[in-house]
Amino acid sequence: MKQIFSIIKPYIRWVIFGVTLFFVIKAFKDRWQEVAQIEIESQGLLMLLFALIVTIISLVWAGWVWGWILKALQQSFSGWWAIRVFLVTNISKYLPGNLWHLYGRISAVASKGTPIGIASVSVLLEPLLMVASGLLVGMITSFISFQNGAWGASIWGVQILSLIVVLVVIHPKILNRLIGLLNRIKVKNIKVSNVEIKEYFILPLLGQIGFVLLRGGGFIFAVMAFTHIDLSHLSEIYRAFSFAWLCGLVIPGAPGGVGVFEFVAIKLLDDNPFFSGGVVLTTVALFRLISVSAEALSAFLGWLSNRLTQE
């Protein structure tokens, strides 16, 4: 059984990518007439610009929060250094494997003489805290919109169980053992860590919640480019976005969550009576373009800032 799994394991992500991509293409094929009828007015273009700006701000904020994680691990890196490294490496997540952005951050931190165990934990903590924050935002928005009778009740158990697992994994006792194991990896010119984590990462967790809210805010601006939304719709949109974004983060599919996010977002919002199918498809497609553009622009600005600082 293990041999069979080891053979098919490399192909699982591509199967998931293929299925999600097929669904997205089929959705556009079935709704292309609705999409073709949508027009972007000047106010809509302004909303898309706001979506781009807020998405860039969310990336800068995520880099700042990563700096908080490094400080909580007793590493003296400036917040601006953490932001630059985060932005420059973030675009690498679109490379095959979806791990190169993490490798780049580990290398950057370790090159400054930080123990390999601390460097690795600082990078592993970031997505774990993102998962926890995504679950919390999803659960809160599910509770707010529960009276609407949507899909929230059916996934409460999964959300709560997943959140408990993540919160246990990032407990200081677990992380200290992980650092000890990672320090056994002998890397030339990299010293061993004697850091002991004593406090829970409350501030970085709150910071990652802010990241999810900002990223979701960019998505809301994208929705507003094509349709009017009331305050009562915000919890529905945030709930759908946070769950779709979380699936794109944790499900092995295309690099950067391409396909997975779109699949889940379309599935959740398409059944919503507040939005037409054409609006949903157009918003999801353009938000992916906005996200990639924001990440590419942020990477360039981070690289340029690094060059100017060196000079």
pLDDT at residue number 146: 59
What span, in angstroms and rounded, lies between the C-alpha atoms of 276 and 31? Answer: 10
pLDDT at residue number 141: 81
- Domain segments of the chain as ranges: 16-24+41-310
pLDDT at residue number 4: 52
Tokens coding 51: 């979506």
What 3 state SS string does 3-68 have?
HHHHHHHHHHHHHHHHHHHHHHHHHHHHHHHHHHCCCCCHHHHHHHHHHHHHHHHHHHHHHHHHHH
User: CA-based angle 69:62:120, to the nearest 5?
Assistant: 40
Alpha carbon 133 to its chain centroid, in Å, reads 10
CB 42 within 8 A of CB 188: no
pLDDT at residue number 167: 86
What 3 state SS string does 170-209 have?
CCHHHHHHHHHHHHCCCCCCCCCCCCCCCCCCHHHHHHHH
Mean pLDDT by runs of 10 across the 311 residues of the chain is 49 54 56 57 87 95 94 86 92 76 86 80 88 88 61 64 84 80 58 67 92 94 86 82 86 69 82 72 86 90 78 49
